[in-house]
A and B are shown apart, each in its own frame.
Chain A
Amino acid sequence: MEIYLALIPILPLLGFLILSLTGFRLPQIVKAIVGAGSVGISAILTIILGLTYLSSPPVGGVISVQLWEWIDAGGFNAEISFKLDALSLIFCFVITFVGFLIHVYSIEFMKNDDGFSRFFAYMNLFVSSMLILVLADNLVLLYLGWEGVGLCSYLLIGFWYKEPANGDAARKAFIITRIGDTAMLLGLFLLFISFGTLNIDQIMQQAPLSWEKGSLMPVLAAALLLGGALGKSAQLPLQTWLPDAMAGPSPVSALIHAATMVTAGVYLIARTHVLFILAPAVQAAVAIIGALTLLIAGFSALTQHDLKRILAYSTISQIGYMFLALGVGAWSAGIFHFMIHAFFKALLFLAAGAVIVVLDEEHDIFKMGGLRKKLPAIFITFLIGSASLSALPIFTAGFYSKDQILWFAWSSENGSLWLWLAGIVGAFLTSLYTFRMVFITFFGDTGTEPTHKPGRLMIIPISILAVLSLLGGFIELPESWAHLQIFSHTLSDVLPTVSILQESIPEIVFQIASAVVAISGIYIAWLLYVKKIKLAGSPTFNRIGHFFYKGWAFDKLYEATIVKPVVWLSEIDKKDFIDFFFESLGSITVFFNRILSRLQNGKLRWYAAAVAIGIVFILTLMINL
Chain B
Amino acid sequence: MTEAEFDALMADRAKRIVGDIAWLPDPQHAPALEFRKEVLSAAGPSIYVKGWYNPASCKLAYTLIHRETGRIYALNLGRGHRNPTGEQVGDRHKHRWTQQSRDKLAYVPSDITEPWSRPVEVWHQFCTEARIAHEGTMNAPALETEVTP
On whether the two chains bind one another, the answer is no
A-side residues, CB < 8 A to B, are none
Query: Footprint of A on B, CB under 8 Å?
Result: none
